[in-house]
Structure 1
Amino acid sequence: MASNPVAGGGSGRNDEAQQQQQQQQRNVEYILLAEFDIDQGAILKHQYPRPTGADDSYLMLPDGAHARESDWTVFLLNQKAPDETGRVPVGGPALLHVLNLVRTKHDKEVRRGAIVKAMAVCTRHRFIHIYQAILMLALENYYRYPTVDTLAELYNSANEMDLSCMPQLSRHETTILRFSDDHNMFEERFVQLEREKRLLGGLAQDTERLEAPHDSALAELAVGGGGGDDAGAAARRGADAAGRVRASSARNKDRRFFETEIVYSTVKLPIRVPMTVYPEEIGDFSLIQLLTTFSGSLQAQSGSKITHPHLESSGQYTHPVILLMNSLLTQKRVIFLGHGKPAGEVANYVLAAVALGSGGGGVLRGLANRAFPYTNLTNLDTLLSFPGYIAGVTNPAFEEHPEWWDLLCNINTGKITVSPALALPVGAKSQTDALRRSLDSVTLSRNRSFSSRDGKPDKWNNLDTEFVQDLMLAIERHYGEVAIRAKVENYVRRFMSLVPLYEHERTGTTRLGDPTQVASLNGYTISPGDKEVRDHDLAFYQSRIEGFLGTQAYHNAIADYESAQSHNFIRGIDIAHMVYSLRTSTNLDVNEVEAIYKRLDDQVVSDDQVTELLASLPQSQGGLQPLAYGFYHPSPAIRLYTTRLFEKIEGNHAGARYIRSTNFFHQCAFSNLRYAFSC
């Protein structure tokens, strides 16, 4: 009988879809085991449950591992090198994040007196640090039982970690929870999934009980005999009490994390999965450490006497942090060198740099694909095939070859060096002249500028120095990681708001939006509406925007913008621009303010649209404060639009929490106006 090609094709597609679904449900894809052999060097001894297709043993056994009892490294699998056009191909296997632990045990009975082994977990999860505890236990277990069964036990235990009750938050919900002062935000989402799981578990137990053999006494009890009413009442009371205990404990949980556990060799390991991870955040790194390490010296070292327009935006006074930021935005090759440092420490600097260049991990995309948290000379050819790589090394030989990198960040000294071999872009002289003219024109008076304290000319009191001062002041005041990353996110968003404006003025078109609507009520960008300030910003960022255009992050930004236009719930207006105008603009007239509130009232209707609006109003930056000003406006129409908008916000679960956390006077004004307009 002839086969049916249509049916066969459908079956193949179903099998492929089922396989992809199973892969998405797995917590861990591979377990790797590497050893150091005195004759063969680093060898990849085991790959479980199947080969990865690559030999990364040289990354699992970093330089100097024998000199330490243990060390951590991070690297990535399935990174996509750009094609001849500089574009990263779409599709293919997903990017895998690898957490590796290497341990050295000294033994006088073996050659060289030490046994070096490394074990790694490969996962799609970006929060790879949750696997540290189980990896330590598994590697210790492998030293005692060096068989593939030890890897299988680790693989099975990690994949049995239950994440079924972890809500899948949207990007807007993640942003709300990330910057929320209320740690119980989206509590109802967690409770609903937990209730469904208990219900399914109860049904399964009932099914097993009904299918099990019953004696006559149990059967009689089941139909109501032998005091069944008392037993049923006791069971209900017990269930109610258990429910109250669970509800009480749930209210005390920090919903920024999902609490679960991994059971490995009868040991229960508590796990806290972060719920607010941005797409370009990998592992548990410290952006504060990166900023403090390279903020000690004002002037970076340049291997060339010529100012590079993409990097040195303030000439010789460019702050090292800004120099690093400019390198990441313009896709330059960046190396972090930590001679004698643990590989894990160097890797953390690279992961922090990815977050820095991507805007706290949430604005630009694609930096993780060109990140090599730890690498060495063995991987040099692969490294050089990635334009704009971000790599961490411990071998000082890299410093002696400036042709391999564009920017070298020395972790030991805190110095940043621009490669003398870095070629200037086409038209560099004109760009440099334009940069100098823009610096001369940017004479914005900024308070507490380090330039004025150090006696530098006023032209260095610019947006960059203000940004660095804000970061350093926040670190001195012991702000947390999330707050520091939020400041970086705002800086990169401001930069990205200027890109389409500059592109439109230069070429007459842009794929990042419609800048012709900047001055209109629809709004496009979060750039201030004041034309003079905007022109100053464009002049100041001009050279960096030139370097950013054409990078992989630029192409990804276009794809993300087009996707947002088709998937966002609020369309036709730019919420971020309107919120920015209400928060910062001082030159809006009554008609403009009324038009903004009216458009918000018209466009924000559904629950999803309210959630999208709240994502532009993080609680850590004032929450509903910009909208609440409408309660006190002299215009009755603005007060009406504000009240109606707050009523819609109050009907949203997260919005109700927002309103409860607002200023008491705002709550009173909302209550009074709602009553007045309802009469």
Structure 2
Amino acid sequence: MSKNKKKLKKPIFSISIAEFDIDIGNTLVKRFPEFKFEKYNYQSLANLVIPDGAHIHKSDHTYLVLDCSGEKGFPSEACEESYLFGIGIFVCIHDETVRRGAKQSSILLLSKLPYFPLYFPLLKTTLTKYMLDPNISHIKTLYKALNESLQKENQLTLFGETYPLNIPRYQIDEFPGASLIQIVKLFKMDTMILWYAMLLKSRIFVIGQPAGKVSNCVISTPLLVSPLKGFTGLLVPYVALTDVHLIEKKSFIAGSTNPIFSMRPEWCDFVANFATGTVTQNKEEKMKITGSDRALIKNVLSGVNDNRSESWVRKQFVEYTENFLRSWISGSPKSIHKKYLHNFDQNEMYKKYHNELSERIKLLKPEEKKSPKDFLDILIDENEELGALEKTKTLYNLHTNLVNLTAIEEACDHDGVTTMFQFLGEKSAQVRKYATGVISQLSLCVKGQLSVLSGPTLKQIVALLDDKMSNVQNAACYCLMKISSLYIGADSLVKRNVHLKLKEIIEKSTDLKLKSTAVQALVHIYNFLPNIEKVGVEEFKKEFESVDPKYVSNLINLFDLYEQELPKTTEPSNELKKYLTGLQSDSVENRVLATQYLLADLVSNSNLIYDLVLTDSLDIVFENEKSNPPDHILSQLCVDVLVIAVDTFFGRKEIIKNKFVNRAIIQLRTTEDPLYIFYVLRFLEVAAQYKETAQIIVENNGIEIALKTVLKHILRPMFNNLAIPGLGIIKHLLLLFPEKKSQFFEHVKVLEPYFVHTTKRFVSQPSHDREIQDLILKIIILAGFELEQVKQNSLKREFLVKKFTEYKGTDKKEKFGIGFSEDSLLKNYTIEELIPTLSEERISQVDEFVKLMEIPFNGETGYD
């Protein structure tokens, strides 16, 4: 239910000032009105608005959601049950007169209404006033002005300035300022892992920089699974390392700037990391997204790329979640959903939704509601009677009705493509335009693409590229770009030589929008089909003088795929400039912060990497990596930037010139820090996918070094995730150099004992993780192992492990007939020292076991 501002006499609960003191830490030094909570003391509230490592920030902000149920000083008229919503604005002002060299202060507003964007400018103004004159009167002024104005005014006067009060309306779990677009741009396909995590009400951490962006991401997560409600109490938009008690519960969605949270898998189930753009799962059995999950995100990303609104993106997720909920209501959920969410129908949020839906259905009045099928029926049945204006209007309504995949698939099921074909040759340009637009929407799903590709429709759309009307040409090119976004579409376009037609448009057209769409289609085509003969692009270099940034951005992507040189530029973009000062700062802490911010933007804005490379700014990253030891966070972050850079042609050239592939292999051999090793392995895994960098890996014994790293960590419960990128390196080298299969076989045969037969995949061993096992299986097949023999050996190993290791009680084991406890010195003995106590038959069996395991026995086999 939407909340009305007039229901609350005093929406603002309290305003406070938080400061850092070098002796006592963070605390609330001034509060108006005074308040005291049992759950949240002054220090913990101050920690939530002065982020970890705050002294390296110039400014930042955080959000708070406080559950105040049971607190004596909390009024019962709260807007949303018993919650207070907070926003903290932080500033750091360098001051040599204080002991730490800077003054750190935050202003914290606690409100019964989560109007975060509305409060933001008012708090910044008040904090600036307070920093110049630390008097409590400033926060009293803001408190009184807001409480009065939120009741009856549409503007507020504060310190002589007038501010408009655009009071937002919101529903439960839907906060002003929340952004699903931000989540999708950050995590792309992994957004659906978050979707599942929210449905499971899991323990979720969002890690990144800055704190404001993290907090905003946290308050946006409930939108993923709307219309389900009830997540507000699970939100901890920011948590400090000193206050982990705030997340000691079965379910939460928490945010932090401190990467240590991502290194503690026992603290959470899922970690959404800004720096990598991934959502990792701390689970024995990993969830995998489905084909329909992928289709949803492709549709959403396509819409975001076309500048669709936040409300449009939200509608996509609402529709998708409602379809999922209906499948449970009807008793026919997908098998994969039964597997991942087998008790979902017992979920209280689901039960509440089901009951509310039943009540809404009872109250519904009969009224007409046209579906895509209804519009198609009009166009089919009344085609001859409809004039150009009516056709245009109906096609427009159909186009705007195709708002989600459900509607698109319904239109495809009712011969939408065939119906549209008859309008592609109409005299009216508007009719041709909207008919082509409908086909472009239908091409977002596989059904639609197959319909377009299997009939005469595609030929007609290609012909419309030469239409006399520019709006029709643009619609046709846009449609072809959408078709090229799936592999089958890209392949069909190449077979029909459409890529040559797209090149001709770029060369001859003067319409920048048309040219940009044509380039984007070529990028899709060459991403899917990198080995086809490429059309010449040398003459496109003059196009880089265009003032259209989107067109230039698409051209850069195309040139990167072509591995074509681009001229170096001397002037970084304004977007890059904001990072360069921090990257070159004298303060290591500032360089760390700037690199964290840069990484977050690189993940959501891939074109920034070209700016970094083409202005020679990547040299700063190389220097920062070299100037610190491997266990320093700056070195690790710099390698993470290079992971993104090595995935581009321009970046690889700079990486090869700086010999970083060679350095990475040396570091892998000599470094012990697990986090740095992980980043280096990720870098080498991407580098192994490209011939020029893969060759350097092979020439520098990279495959042996990667294997040693894998074997060192594959059986270590806390570190076996290091084996995943290590195995990835080996897999990609085998794919890239099939002629070296026999040479590689000699190295990778050491992996054979770690293969687990598929019938035994999910035993309780850390090395039996699905992802690790899938990679080992692929490597075994690529390297030319006798797969049946490998499977037989695996089953035999399983049998011997069970036979020779018996557990007796919680702390005692019997191995090879020898009993010992965990604390016993016997476990450090060698097999030779233990053999005298065994019979000859037992010795023979032990020898067979050790040989099959191909690992030395020193009282531990790794299979405990």
Structure (1 or 2) with the larger CA radius of gyration: 2
TM-score (norm 2): 0.39
Which structure has more helix as a fraction of its residues? 2
Q: Which has the higher contact order (CA 8 A, sep 6+)?
A: 1
